[in-house]
Structure 1
Amino acid sequence: MATILMLNGPNLGLLGLREPAIYGHDTLEDVEAACRDALQGTGHELDAFQTDHEGAMLERVHAARQDADAVVINAGAWTHTSIALLDALSAFEGPVVEVHISQVHRREAFRHHSYVSARADAVIVGCGVQGYEFAVLRVARLLD
């Protein structure tokens, strides 16, 4: 059984509360449950982690080298700022899929650049929280 690590960065713990007109009403717990449901019968399991602390995120990516087969990541604002996160993801050998709930290319210009995309095997943007389900199914396919 392969482990898919779903990583969520800053402010994503506020899903369902923060700017619901942009991010919707589903909570992060709802997203995790939907992803677990999507993976039923695939032989893959989901491990989920959210943090507002960049160092904790980097440490979790480093640990993924030992305990995960693939990564699905919504790095939040670190997407646009963190070369350190890109470097950590580059040391991970499995598939990486980047997710953004909103259509970032219709938003502020600073959101148009992603350091994470330089490492990602796929990028899913603007599909709402359903993008996470697409992402876990994509990495499941890549692992198969």
Structure 2
Amino acid sequence: MLLIVAKYLYPSLTRILEERRKKVSSDLEAARANREEAERLLAEQRALLEKARAQSDAMIRQAEEMARTLREEREKELALSVKAELDKASAQIAADREKMKADLRNETVTIIVRSLETLLEESLSDTQKVLYINKAMKALDERKAG
């Protein structure tokens, strides 16, 4: 029986074991190849992810820089606008002040002339009236010039 087993079963058993060994070896090789491919894909994905992070960081930095630049430009524009408005207001105030001074001078002269007219009509001759009016006009002209 040992001879029958050795002659008929052993070759079949050896063939089956060899096929099984080849199958296991093939499966191990395929698993190894799949693992290497998975590791390669994982490394590729990590590299892509890192690249995407770097790009997004660069975009964020660029956006922040643009926002800062825009903010600075707007602040400068606002400062210039405020300065222009202040200068305009100062010029208007100065013009108004000069106009008020001129109006006050004119009003003062008018009051003085009316007062003089009243006084002159009552107590002075026509010649004296003309002399006083000329003297007042000359003083007024000197004041305007000075």
Output the TM-score relative to the length of structure 1.
0.16
Which has more helix, going by share of residues?
A: 2
- With normalisation by structure 2, the TM-score equals 0.16
Rg bigger for which structure? 2
Flag the structure with higher strand content: 1
